[in-house]
Structure 1
């Protein structure tokens, strides 16, 4: 497990990243926490949930009343998922939003052990005034990132927060040993997982429409999969996106660019109904306004949902390309721009350097901003910086 370099250099470089991200000590603060439902769903899906008994046994068990210690478990993006320990200190920490569901990444609060450990992918200790945000300076903290031993991917972070004593070397050693135990526990659980038996019958799923990086859309409904022509894909995509429905004039405008093409769009809808009558009869569009009788899982909308939950890596993986790239229908161009723009904006705002480089390689090779943002986020001595600078020079 890599440990921190010279503490003063770690702090200075972290402060520089915070200022480059336009943070100020007076205004840097954690995000509002997730609502209860979103937090529980995020916890349940996170791999560290399986290792909580180990974490509680090695760290939280001794962090009881009067211990002066708070133990936090966060995800790979710096969002805290569990915060436990000395009840009095836990309540005090709430004043600075050190609570489950809050974002404690460097981009939000600047220099603090959870976010800085993730930024450097190394264990760090931040003591008192070394914190960037003013409200965090009465505290000290130690944090170590957690990795998946199979893929070496960072999956989260363990943090101990409290008074000056938690920044002692023995705390870093204890946290490092706990992380090693957690990583081994997760690997062991995966290796011991029994082979899947025959699956029980699954509940009916909503129809799914795949339009990313496709001109021939793919509709899956009722256990069947069919391909749709570009025009039919445009119509079904627009109705799936505008769930409240569209008037004939508005639909004609979104498809043909003019509201007086109503007769044409009505004829096209008749042909679409005919196609769906054999493949997915429950999806035949209703009229006045034109709308779908049941919700459709549009893959483009699913990507946006992942971004809303902070699942940036999953969203980037799911985004295989633009919506119906061969379409020139105005309404499809609007959806395409909305999804492309939302993905780019979310990654620039919150993604790790590795994720930004993946995005630049696969989807935005001519866009300098993801490269510049990754460069700003990387530590000064990262070996990846030279390659990024060369790519930026090639774009000039």
Structure 2
């Protein structure tokens, strides 16, 4: 019976695993099933988990695909780690390519969302199903870098035959988990796969340094979002019964005096904004500021359920506004839709003159505006006030959602939340200006994303196909002379010729 010779020089404080030579490792793994094989704890424990899950080395198959193409596309546009792709590329691409390796980003379940690196190595990795969408958790693929890093919650190195599945024993890998600075939960992991260099201490150090940079950037973006949400709320000191400003991950950023809470996780609001904690206390949940932030207000059982109206306004990709007031939808004709959007844009309200200027470049009869406002008040009741004209309650528009997502750097999420331009056929000056501004924000973010998936997605839309700046950015990402480079270059040139100013 052969044993692995694990000398002290091969130990590491991070619990990573590396076999000294392929020869000794192969000898150890060629031992009969059930024979005593000397592994470092992290490997032997992983093999134990695999056996306990009903896996056997004789019956192991290649990693299955767990993400359908549509789910994988959603990951590319909305997963927080995919927004960090430029950082991964900047820090890893050269070193990983020179080492003859590839790097992968996986989600918290071990499914690979992104694989990139040396073309020949990537082609070879496809033969063992190390591809986007494949499930490399221990339960599906046995002992391996991504799966074992997820299982132990820390960095690991796996060299060749230390894999539980003999079909992948020619490969080595190193991986480490990535954590969400908001919720503290696992976001996913970073893996480098290839030959022996992939499992070297230097490669694992590079992985950990890259993760530190990514987590720092996530924390920086979170701080920006926290500040925006904090500035957006102003009622906490005045609310009775206790209230808290809560982040998407459940952190309490601010609270009424004496509330004594640091976390409120898992808040789920009904259509009317109400919620309830496991201890029976009732809450009213009100969206505020950046996407996902809420004010959670504790209410007494005798208190009215709707002290303020919760209003959501849908305006994108449509000519008729839909208002949801406390969960109940109302649709408005185009002209009244323009008025509602202008009121939503004016946080302090509008005079008759201000409303007229936003509606038309030519003077409007003040009487006709007052008639329109009277008709709107009939439908909206106390939600609409006069002197000045003002929408009361907590107003959350879909164009604000898109702008907030862009401010957080969540470009893929912003594109998903953007079904089309704001009231696309409106010629009201105030609407045209906001529509163009939002389009420009989206265009600039996509062009600067360094992400060909986001760019092609934008360019495939009716409102993005004429965006010369994004075509030019896509050309820069494409190999010169390639079909995509030629198409992008030609389209950008044609647009610049036909439209000297950007299309919006």
Summarize the Cα distance change of 1:211–1:122 in structure 2 as closer, same or farther, 3 Å threshold: farther
Residue 321 (structure 2) aligns with: 217
| Cα offset, 1:268, TM superposition | 0.7
Is 2:486 the counterpart of 1:389?
A: yes
Give, in whole Å, the separation in 2 of the partners of 1:247 and 1:240. Answer: 14
Measured against aligned partners, the alpha-carbon deviations of 1:161-193 in whole angstroms (never above 9, x if no partner) come to xxxxxx997136647999xxxxxxxxxxxxxxx
Is 2:189 the counterpart of 1:171?
A: no
Residue 81 (structure 2) aligns with: 75
Residue 412 (structure 2) aligns with: 313
Residue 471 (structure 2) aligns with: 371
Could you tell me which runs of 5 or more consecutive residues in structure 2 were left unpaired when the two chains were aligned.
Answer: 1-13, 18-79, 116-186, 209-265, 276-283, 287-309, 495-504
Secondary structure at the counterpart of residue 313 of structure 2: strand
Residue 294 (structure 2) aligns with: none
Whether the 8 Å CA contact 2:452–2:477 is kept in 1: the answer is yes
Residue 229 (structure 1) aligns with: 333
Secondary structure at the counterpart of residue 271 of structure 1: helix
Whether the 8 Å CA contact 1:216–1:229 is kept in 2: the answer is yes
Q: Say what the alpha-carbon RMSD is for the aligned residues.
A: 4.0
Give, in whole Å, the separation in 1 of the partners of 2:406 and 2:486. Answer: 28
Secondary structure at the counterpart of residue 405 of structure 2: helix
Whether the 8 Å CA contact 1:143–1:158 is kept in 2: the answer is no
Whether the 8 Å CA contact 1:212–1:322 is kept in 2: the answer is yes
| Cα offset, 1:199, TM superposition | 8.1
Give, in whole Å, the separation in 2 of the partners of 1:373 and 1:230. Answer: 36
Question: Of Structure 1 and Structure 2, which has the larger fraction of its residues in helix?
Answer: 1
Structure showing greater relative contact order (alpha-carbon pairs closer than 8 Å, 6 or more residues apart): 1
Instruction: Show the 5 A alignment for 1:283-294.
Output: 283=383, 285-294=384-393
Secondary structure at the counterpart of residue 458 of structure 2: helix
Instruction: Show the 5 A alignment for 1:64-213.
Output: 75-78=81-84, 105=86, 114-116=88-90, 123=96, 144-148=103-107, 150=111, 152-153=113-114, 158=190, 170-171=200-201, 174=204, 201-202=274-275, 203-205=284-286, 206-213=310-317
- TM-score normalised by structure 1 residue count: 0.53
Whether the 8 Å CA contact 2:360–2:428 is kept in 1: the answer is yes
Could you tell me which runs of 5 or more consecutive residues in structure 1 were left unpaired when the two chains were aligned.
Answer: 1-55, 60-73, 80-104, 107-113, 127-141, 161-166, 179-195
Summarize the Cα distance change of 1:168–1:276 in structure 2 as closer, same or farther, 3 Å threshold: closer
Measured against aligned partners, the alpha-carbon deviations of 1:176-224 in whole angstroms (never above 9, x if no partner) come to 999xxxxxxxxxxxxxxxxx9x988533543111010111211111121
Residue 402 (structure 2) aligns with: 303
Summarize the Cα distance change of 1:343–1:199 in structure 2 as closer, same or farther, 3 Å threshold: closer
Secondary structure at the counterpart of residue 341 of structure 2: helix
Summarize the Cα distance change of 1:265–1:294 in structure 2 as closer, same or farther, 3 Å threshold: same
Which piece of structure 1 moves more, 231-240 or 254-263? 254-263
| Cα offset, 1:307, TM superposition | 0.2
Whether the 8 Å CA contact 1:240–1:295 is kept in 2: the answer is no
Paired residues in the alignment total 248
| Cα offset, 1:319, TM superposition | 0.6
Whether the 8 Å CA contact 1:303–1:315 is kept in 2: the answer is yes
* Larger CA Rg, structure 1 vs 2: 2
Give, in whole Å, the separation in 2 of the partners of 1:241 and 1:332. Answer: 9
Secondary structure at the counterpart of residue 350 of structure 1: coil
Whether the 8 Å CA contact 2:104–2:113 is kept in 1: the answer is no
Whether the 8 Å CA contact 1:210–1:298 is kept in 2: the answer is yes
Is 2:422 the counterpart of 1:323?
A: yes
